[in-house]
Chain A
Amino acid sequence: MEQKKLTIGVTGLNNIDSPGPGVSVIRGIKESEIDARIIGLAYENLEPGIYMPGLVDKTYLIPFPSTGSEAFLERLEYIHSKEKLDIIIPNFDSELYLFIKFSDKLLEMGIHTFLPTMEQFEERHKDNLPEYAKKYGIKVPESRPIVNSKELSNLPKPLSYPYFIKGKFYEAFKVVNNNQGIYYFNKLSAKWGLPVVVQQAINGTEVNVIALGDGEGNTVSAVAMRKQYITDKGKAWGGITLNDERLLEITHHIIKETKWRGAMELEMIKTDEGEYYLIEINPRIPAWVFLAVGAGQNIPEMVCRLATGEKVEPITTYKYGKMFIRYSWDLIGDIADFEKIVIFGEL
Chain B
Amino acid sequence: MSKLNSLAISDNGFIFKPSTGESFTTNEIGLMIINLLKEGKSADEIISVITEEFDIDAISAGRDLYEYLDFLKREKMLD
Is B one of A's binding partners?
yes
Interface digits, A329-347 against B, CB 8 Å rule (1 contact, 0 not)? Answer: 0000001001100111000
Q: Is chain B's interface secondary structure helix, strand, loop, or mixed overall?
A: strand
Question: Using a CB-CB cutoff of 8 Å, which residues 11-43 of chain B contact chain A?
Answer: 12-14, 16, 23, 25
How far apart are B55's CB and chain A's nearest CB, in angstroms? 26
Q: A335 and B16: CB pair below 8 A?
A: yes
Find chain A residues with CB under 8 A from B12 CB: 339, 343-344
Bound-complex Cα distance A343 to B16 (A): 12
Q: A343 and B13: CB pair below 8 A?
A: yes
The total of Cβ contacts below 8 Å across the A-B interface reads: 17
Find chain A residues with CB under 8 A from B8 CB: 335
Find chain B residues with CB under 8 A from A342 CB: 14, 23, 25
Answer yes or no: B10 CB below 8 A from chain A CBs. Answer: yes
Bound-complex Cα distance A342 to B12 (A): 10
User: How many residues from A make CB contacts under 8 Å with B?
Assistant: 6
How far apart are B30's CB and chain A's nearest CB, in angstroms? 13
Question: Using a CB-CB cutoff of 8 Å, which residues 186-227 of chain A contact chain B?
Answer: none
Question: Using a CB-CB cutoff of 8 Å, which residues 47-74 of chain A contact chain B?
Answer: none
Question: Using a CB-CB cutoff of 8 Å, which residues 296-347 of chain A contact chain B?
Answer: 335, 338-339, 342-344
Find chain A residues with CB under 8 A from B14 CB: 339, 342-343
How far apart are A338's CB and chain B's nearest CB, in angstroms? 7
Q: With A342-B14, A343-B12 given, is the CB distance from A335 to B23 under 8 Å?
A: yes
Question: Using a CB-CB cutoff of 8 Å, which residues 107-159 of chain A contact chain B?
Answer: none
Residue of B nearest to A339 (CB): B14
How far apart are A290's CB and chain B's nearest CB, in angstroms? 33
Question: Using a CB-CB cutoff of 8 Å, which residues 81-114 of chain A contact chain B?
Answer: none
Find chain A residues with CB under 8 A from B10 CB: 339
Bound-complex Cα distance A343 to B13 (A): 8
How far apart are B21's CB and chain A's nearest CB, in angstroms? 9
Find chain B residues with CB under 8 A from A344 CB: 12
Find chain B residues with CB under 8 A from A343 CB: 12-14, 25
How far apart are B72's CB and chain A's nearest CB, in angstroms? 19
Residue of A nearest to B15 (CB): A339
Residue of A nearest to B14 (CB): A339
Bound-complex Cα distance A342 to B10 (A): 12
Bound-complex Cα distance A343 to B23 (A): 11
Residue of B nearest to A335 (CB): B16
Find chain A residues with CB under 8 A from B16 CB: 335, 339
Residue of B10, B13, B14 contacting most chain A CB atoms (<10 Å): B14
Bound-complex Cα distance A24 to B42 (A): 55
Bound-complex Cα distance A338 to B23 (A): 10
Binding site for A on B (CB under 8 A): 8, 10, 12-14, 16, 23, 25
Going nearest first, the 8 A-B pairs with the smallest beta carbon separation are: A339-B14, A343-B12, A343-B14, A335-B16, A339-B10, A342-B25, A343-B25, A342-B14
Give me 9 A-to-B residue pairs in the complex whose CB atoms sit less than 8 angstroms apart, sorted by A's number. A338-B23, A339-B12, A339-B16, A342-B14, A342-B23, A342-B25, A343-B12, A343-B13, A343-B25
Told that A339-B16, A342-B14, A342-B23 touch, could you supply 14 new A-B pairs with CB distance under 8 A? A335-B8, A335-B16, A335-B23, A338-B23, A339-B10, A339-B12, A339-B14, A339-B23, A342-B25, A343-B12, A343-B13, A343-B14, A343-B25, A344-B12
